[in-house]
Amino acid sequence: MTAQLACMVSDIAPGSALRVELEGETGPVPVAVARDSDGRFHALSDICSHGQVSLSDGEVEDGTIECWLHGSTFDLRSGAPLALPATRAVPVYPLTIDGERVLVDVDITLNF
C-alpha cells in the first residue's frame, strides 16, 4: 500500500485535528490528522493507547494532542505519552503534503 489521500490542507485549521479512516493491509485504520499551532501536519493513530476513544476529539496544543477522556497528552511527532494515565505510545504514520493534498501511509509506522 502507498500513501493515501487523507484530507485537504484547508480541512484542518492550525491547533486542531480531524479523524479519517484509511485502508490498511489488514483493514480500516482510524487516523488522527493533526495540525500543530505552527501549521505543521502530523498523522497518528486515532485510538488512545489507554482506551478506545478518539484522540482527534481532544485538544491540539504546543505539539501535543490531549485525550479528552482522562487527559493524557501525546507528542504529535513521536506518539509518545507525556502524561499519565497512558503509558504506551500511539503509532505515528508518514505524512506528506502534495500541493493541497495531505497524504498518509498507514502501512508504515515511524515509531514502532
Smallest gap from residue 72 Cβ to ligand FES (A): 4
H or E element in which residue 46 lies: none
Question: Given the rule CB under 6 A, which residues bind ligand FES?
Answer: 48, 50-51, 53, 67, 69-70, 72, 85-86
Smallest gap from residue 100 Cβ to ligand FES (A): 32
Smallest gap from residue 78 Cβ to ligand FES (A): 17
Name the nearest CA neighbour of 72 among 64, 80, 84: 84
Among residues 18 and 53, whose Cβ is nearest to ligand FES?
53
Cell numbers representing residue 91 in the block: 503509532
Asked whether 43 and 6 are in contact (CB, 8 A), the reply is yes
